Structure 1
Amino acid sequence: MAGSGGIVRNELGGWIGGYSRNIGISTGFHAELWALKDGFIMCKNCQLTTVDIELDAKSIVDLLANPHYSNSVARDELISHIPLVQIRHCYREANNRCADVLARLGARHDRDFILYDSPPVDILKLMSPDSVGLYYDKLCHEPAVAS
């Protein structure tokens, strides 16, 4: 079961809105595309003129950066409505933990799509660290060997 989710913040890291979607049985790639599409629609509806998107799905970042990308729907129907869009890759450890929680919520809820005007209680404690770029190292470090 897959879910997608995302968060839109202002330039100071404050909440503009969030969303989650229940996708059903799917791949991670498909879930990332849904999250990106929903995020673009939300930005368009909020009439944002500058959007900086960070994705931990490098394959999608590379796909959208390719000028020979054959599916023009993303460019024509979504990206073109926002004057300045920057899409860049970030590593999973540095990605927005709030978006991860929203995606997990999406996989569990019964409705297809939920729009959040305010942060759900599940992510309140994550809002501040995420907005200033703090992240938790998820790598497993090898313990030091005593000599």
Structure 2
Amino acid sequence: MSTKLNQIGLKVKDTKALVEQLNSLLANYQIYYQNLRNFHWNVSGPNFFELHAKFEELYTTAQTGIDEVAERILTLGARPYSSYSEFLDNSQIEEAKVISDSKKMVEITRDNLTALIDVERVVLETAGEVADEGTITLISDYITAHEKTVWMLSAYLK
């Protein structure tokens, strides 16, 4: 009896739930990213310069994260979501449509990051259960960075 392994030596059946969770993270990350682009383009007011730059910094970082999550899914031998309909259907983060208040933009960004952290913690737990050190390392780093950004955005809002 042979056990089917993926290209990095993990059991395919053991990584099925992990891949689903990573795709959920990918979907949430994509909507978070697009929200940041929206805010970067549409922010105005007395905090324009600092928020315009901050949103750009955050979406640039998010773009890298999106690519890394998709590549991790591929490394596990699965297909990452790649269409907006898949992202929208599988994201807990909602699109921020017409937002004109800069404080609300920061609040939404903080809340989106908190939602990402929630998904990342689920991924981290499952990755631990299947001994997927690559995913553990990747997601641990995201959690650390996202928690710090949540703290900073929360301090900005006070």
Between Structure 1 and Structure 2, the one with more strand by share is: 1
Q: Which structure's relative contact order is higher, taking Cα pairs within 8 Å and 6+ residues apart? A: 1
TM-score by length of 2: 0.26
TM-score (norm 1): 0.27
Q: Which has the higher helix share?
A: 2
